[in-house]
Amino acid sequence: MKQLTKAEEEVMQLLWELNEGNVAAIIEQMPKPKPAYNTISTIVRILENKNFVSHRKEGKGYIYYPIIKKEEYSNQSLNKLVNNYFNGSFKNMVSFFVKKNDLDIEDIETLLKDMDNDK
């Protein structure tokens, strides 16, 4: 799976939230100042070329929708982060974030309980 630029990822986040939409609907969800229509249209076409998005014709325009699930992309991105910065070790990554975010024992216990509940 290809990696996305920041702008591409921002558009994908909006498409994941919308489930589907035309370029105008995507722009409507964006904060001000709104980007140009052509800018978002170009990004969506790039996402199609990267096989993240597809479309269907509706009237004179197109409705775009994600073909990659958010969870799938998140897992791939997290694995890349772990491999590139933490020598492939989730333990090293968690240790890094615990130290950098000054988590206390209660926070760690809550995280562990949440993880157990998700199993």
What pLDDT, in 10s, does the model give residues 98-116? 788 777 778 878 877 877 7
Instruction: Say which residue the tokens 């206390």 belong to.
Output: 104
Q: Which of 77, 100, 87, 90 is nearest to 6 (CA)?
A: 77
Dist. CA 57–CA 29, nearest whole Å: 21
pLDDT at 119: 63
Whether residue 83 contacts residue 95, with contact meaning beta carbons closer than 8 Å, is answered with: no
Spelled out in words, what is the top-level CATH class assigned to the domain 6-66?
A: mainly alpha
> Where are the domain boundaries for CATH 1.10.10.10 in the chain?
6-66
Pairing, β 53-58 against β 61-66? antiparallel
pLDDT tens digits for range 22-59: 999 999 999 999 999 999 999 999 999 999 999 999 99
How far, in whole angstroms, is CA 20 from its chain's centroid? 15
